[in-house]
Amino acid sequence: MRRTALAVCLVAAAGSPVAAQTFFVPPSGFTVENPVLRRLWALGMDSSQAPALAQVLFDSIGPRLTASPGMEAAQDWLIRTYAGWHVEAHRERTGTWRTWRRGITHIDLVAPRVRSLEGQMLAWSAGTPGGQPVRAPVIALPDLPDSGAFAAWLPQARGKLVLASFPQPTCRPDESWERWAVPAAVDSMKARRAAALRGWNARIAHTGFEFRYGHHSLLRRLAQAGVAGIITNEWSQGWGADRIFGVDAVGAPVVDVSCEDYGLLYRLAQHAQGPVVVLQAQAEAGGEVPVFNVVAELKGVELPEEYVVLSAHFDSWDGGSGALDNGTGTIMMLEAMRMLALAYPHPRRTILVGHWTGEEQGLEGSRAFVADRRQVIDSLQAAFNQDDGTGRVVSMDASGFTQAAGNLARWLVNVPGDLTRDIKFSFPGPTSPPGDNASFVGCGAPAFDLAAGDWDYFRYTWHTSHDTYDKISFDDLQRNATLVAMLAYLASEDPQFLPRDRRTLPQLRADGTPHPWLVPHCEAPDRRTPAPQ
């Protein structure tokens, strides 16, 4: 282990104060020769438990949909795991949410030819009646002039499986086209696709209902008309990967099939070639049930009423295993607490780790924590959040805190260069960044995102059927866990409480208008499932 200077790039907003160059000088006791840092390095780099923890969580327990039995089982495992390390961990109730259990999904084309299709039902979907197979013709949502024509057509949909998503003209990623096709062919494909998508969006609009993320009135109207089910596709723009989200109280089975298979069904229906599908979907829906965060704690011995928080959401969508969203963030914080319990069991400040529920439904778990634990928020030294996949940490910023650069630089410069050499640091950064750290920052508490390298995250694993154990880079994960353990130690020991001076300007789009996700605000959580939209 060697000490390497950290290159820090200060990108200051106009009018924002810039910290003096002297903030790079580490205070006494913060050198990498520190025995606690040496011990954390050994625990994280030489005896990592990340692969074993991840295998149990992602392979054996699996996805962790909010309020599902899978989430309950995962939280039980989490508390048992901490207990085995003599770390106190407990549930903290955030409210209630509707529960749902996924069963099997089988979907097979049986006419005009036989093919087993790649697909599964969406979260919170109804199953087929009694969970039994249903055989039905497949039709496409028609192109009708207005809502009256749509209402007149609806009786024809009864007993049928309706294709309700845009049929992609190609399931080959754009980068493949750009590599192999001549430029004119690429431009032509993109132009035809854009025109077709505009036409499809108009087709949806003409029904008088909506079908987009979080808005499913069209699907509910189809269900009311007695359709046998609804077939959708949300392609990730990568080879073979689909996003698997959920539906709001639709009342009929809703399944996603792969881009390729969806296109097959659509072309067969479009050309009146008689597609028939056998669908079996088993699901068990329930009402509102209590939902919880899991919080683990190492109690501070000198400043127990001041806090360092490690943050990662524990819930996931359930099309895959929730491995990279946000299982890797979970394992990162879990591993860091294991290391801290061994190397730094009596911290100066109290160290908490929050494993949040309901992030995918709108940061609900972390918002509930911020609302319910005001003492922690008011006395927070720093929170460190991670939620973007398997890559090593490559960027940090000060989350709009204009005097935070000194503390952050003191901590980072004392972490071994092997862990920080790729990190770019910007100052002061966005005032309300996306992710669970926004729950803290929006309410005035310093929280910092540890942003990871891309690893094709958004194309192949973010909310997709491919978010599984095999996509993890464990070399990067163990480095990240070691990094965050060291940051927690350094933040806990720092004699200076991090200043809360904050820039409150919203982040702007290219056209100068405020970005709706990045406007600073302190938002209350939803304490129960919102009404369907």
For 36-56, the pLDDT digits (tens) are 999 999 999 999 999 999 999
State mean pLDDT over 387-411: 93
Dist. CA 479–CA 43, nearest whole Å: 11
| 282 falls within a domain | yes
Predicted pLDDT of residue 521: 81
Dist. CA 19–CA 427, nearest whole Å: 10
> Each residue of 190-228: pLDDT tens digit?
999 999 999 999 999 999 999 999 999 999 999 999 999
Residue (of 497, 474, 477) closest to 485 by Cα position: 477
Query: 138 forms bridges with which residues in the sheet?
Result: 161
pLDDT at 353 over 80: yes
Q: Give me the number of domains the chain comprises.
A: 2
Predicted pLDDT of residue 33: 80
One domain for residues 268 and 358: no
Which pLDDT band holds residue 31 (cuts at 50, 70, 90)? low
Cα radius of gyration rounded to whole Å, the chain: 25
Q: Which two tokens stand for residue 401?
A: 């805190």
Q: Which two tokens stand for residue 123?
A: 């979260």
Percent of the chain whose pLDDT exceeds 90: 86
Strands 254-257 and 229-232: parallel
Dist. CA 357–CA 263, nearest whole Å: 35
One domain for residues 315 and 180: no
> Each residue of 436-462: pLDDT tens digit?
999 999 999 999 999 999 999 999 999
> Each residue of 253-284: pLDDT tens digit?
999 999 999 999 999 999 999 999 999 999 99
One domain for residues 268 and 331: no
Residue 318's contacts (CB-CB under 8 Å, 6 or more residues apart) are 62, 63, 64, 65, 68, 70, 102, 123, 244
One domain for residues 185 and 316: no
> Each residue of 474-499: pLDDT tens digit?
999 999 999 999 999 999 999 999 99
| 104 falls within a domain | yes
Predicted pLDDT of residue 434: 73
Predicted pLDDT of residue 9: 41
Dist. CA 411–CA 362, nearest whole Å: 31
Cα 127 to chain centroid, rounded: 26
Helices (H), 207-347: 217-224, 259-270, 328-343
Yes or no: say if 124 and 97 are a contact pair by the CB < 8 Å rule: no
Asked which of 36-45, 89-98, 107-116, 416-425 is least confident by mean pLDDT, the reply is: 416-425
pLDDT at 156 over 50: yes
| 485 falls within a domain | yes
| 53 falls within a domain | no
Predicted pLDDT of residue 385: 97
State mean pLDDT over 504-513: 68
Cα 171 to chain centroid, rounded: 24
Give DSSP secondary structure letters for 239-252.
TT-BB--B-SS-SS
One domain for residues 271 and 306: no
| 39 falls within a domain | no
| 524 falls within a domain | no
Predicted pLDDT of residue 222: 98
One domain for residues 280 and 316: no
| Whether pTM exceeds 0.95 | no
Residue (of 395, 492, 377) closest to 440 by Cα position: 377
133: domain CATH number is 3.50.30.30
Predicted pLDDT of residue 533: 86
Select the more confidently predicted residue: 19 or 104.
104
Instruction: Output DSSP code: residue 93.
Output: E
One domain for residues 281 and 309: no
State mean pLDDT over 67-83: 98
| 451 falls within a domain | yes
One domain for residues 320 and 215: no
pLDDT at 517 over 60: no
Predicted pLDDT of residue 25: 35
342: domain CATH number is 3.40.630.10
Predicted pLDDT of residue 12: 35
Domain of 254, in residue numbers: 100-286
Q: What is the overall mean pLDDT for the chain?
A: 92
Question: How many CB atoms are located within 10 Å of the residue 268 CB?
Answer: 20
Indicate the SS3 state at residue 193. helix
One domain for residues 447 and 411: yes
> Each residue of 304-322: pLDDT tens digit?
999 999 999 999 999 999 9
One domain for residues 318 and 223: no
One domain for residues 275 and 392: no
Which pLDDT band holds residue 181 (cuts at 50, 70, 90)? very high
Give DSSP secondary structure letters for 399-442.
TTBTT-HHHHHHHHHTS-HHHHTT-EEESS--SS-SSTHHHHHT
Predicted pLDDT of residue 2: 34
Indicate the SS3 state at residue 475. helix
Percent of the chain whose pLDDT exceeds 70: 91
pLDDT at 432 over 80: no
Helices (H), 207-227: 217-224
| 86 falls within a domain | no
Predicted pLDDT of residue 342: 98
One domain for residues 195 and 311: no
Predicted pLDDT of residue 428: 84
